[in-house]
Amino acid sequence: MTELLIIKPSSLGDIVQGLQVATSLKEQVDDLRISWVAREIFAPLVRVCEAVDQVYVFERSAGAKGFLKMMAEIRKTRFDVVFDMQGLLRTGLMTQRTLAKRKVGRTDAREWSGMFYNEKVPLPPGGRRSHALEVMLQFCTALGAKPELKGTLKFRQVENLNLSFIEGRGGRKPFLLFPDSRRPEKRWDGFKQLTEMLLREDRAHKVVWAGNNYLPDRRAYSPEQFLNLTGNTSLVSLPSLIKRADWVLTNDSGPLHLAAALDVKVMGIFGPTDPRLFGPYPLNATNHFVIQAPVGDLRLLTAKDVYARFQAIRARLGKGR
């Protein structure tokens, strides 16, 4: 059996893409056991991924003492291979401290982390202008696998999780909106207006807001048509929540990549980041869409523009889809 340790502590979108790589490796490589280093806030999602066998929790706030404690636990296993998918100084140090025979990192690693690897995976043919997931898929080649998606990303079912309350009239799947983003420059402020337009024009679908941070809705919408789950969306429930949605509309954030990975119709709202590099993958999928703000400034993108784009896509696909 090959023992692989993947070091990818954060962030949510990067971890989702890393889990897709892990799934592809499990599909292509026989007798592979995958362990993972994840930050405490993301570890619950990694734990329920079927491709991952063990999780080591990195508590960044625990300082040097916490770091050494985690590494002592990791060093109990002599891994065959370690992948540093993050490519930063702290993850380079984690890689260096393992007892692995092969320590593999990114060619584009930063903060001098490259000095801790004895192997580096190449960039894709598109070089630094490749999609972020294509860059990560290059790690597959280190185990003799093809750098492409194989298999289906799956999560273990959370017990007693009933999400029927998010459905609209006649059991219609909801429009699931993620109005927040970790980075302010990627946070579009038009979700409230977009919600009003959706509720006014489509009374069959319920609109559901979700996300880690609470966003007030001021009880402006009918509870029969609207549900606010922001601040009350656990990571372990996120895959099931997204799979129950008809559409996911979101900023450039982790839920966008999870929706794309789970083959749910998704429209990403982009500002300064390039959707060709960070959009829903693959970009040419029939249910992946993006809208980018003029000159990359989300303040110039109106709710009317987003709504018109969304309605045009639905009309083209057929609104029943």
pLDDT of 105 strictly over 70: yes
Range of the domain at 85: 2-143
What pLDDT is recorded for position 159? 64
| Range of weakest confidence among 74-88, 163-177, 193-207 | 163-177
* 156 falls within a domain: no
pLDDT over 70 at 160, yes or no: no
* In-domain check, residue 153: no
Please count the structural domains in the chain.
Answer: 2
Which of 110, 143, 176 is where one domain is finished?
Answer: 143
Predicted structure pTM score: 0.94
Q: Are residues 168 and 106 in the same domain?
A: no
Judge if 136 and 217 occupy the same domain: no
pLDDT band per the 50, 70, 90 thresholds, residue 152: very high
Query: How high is the pLDDT of residue 221?
Result: 85
Q: Check pLDDT > 80 for residue 162.
A: no
Do 138 and 170 belong to one domain? no
Q: What is the pLDDT of residues 189-230, one digit of tens each?
A: 999 999 999 999 888 889 999 998 999 887 778 888 999 999
Least confident of 47-61, 156-170, 304-318: 156-170
Q: From residue 159, how far is each of 48, 86, 156, 235, 240 by CA, in Å?
A: 12, 32, 9, 14, 11
Q: In this predicted structure, what is the pLDDT of residue 319?
A: 61
For residue 282, give the CATH number of its domain: 3.40.50.2000
Between CA 136 and CA 21 the distance in angstroms is: 7
Does the pLDDT of residue 321 top 60, yes or no? Answer: no
Dist. CA 19–CA 29, nearest whole Å: 15
- In this structure, are 34 and 69 located in the same domain? yes
Residue 289 within any structural domain of the chain: yes
Between 168 and 179, residue with greater pLDDT: 179
Residue 68 lies in a domain: yes
Q: Does a structural domain hold residue 51?
A: yes
Asked whether residue 37 is domain-assigned, the answer is: yes
Specify if 157 maps to a domain.
Answer: no
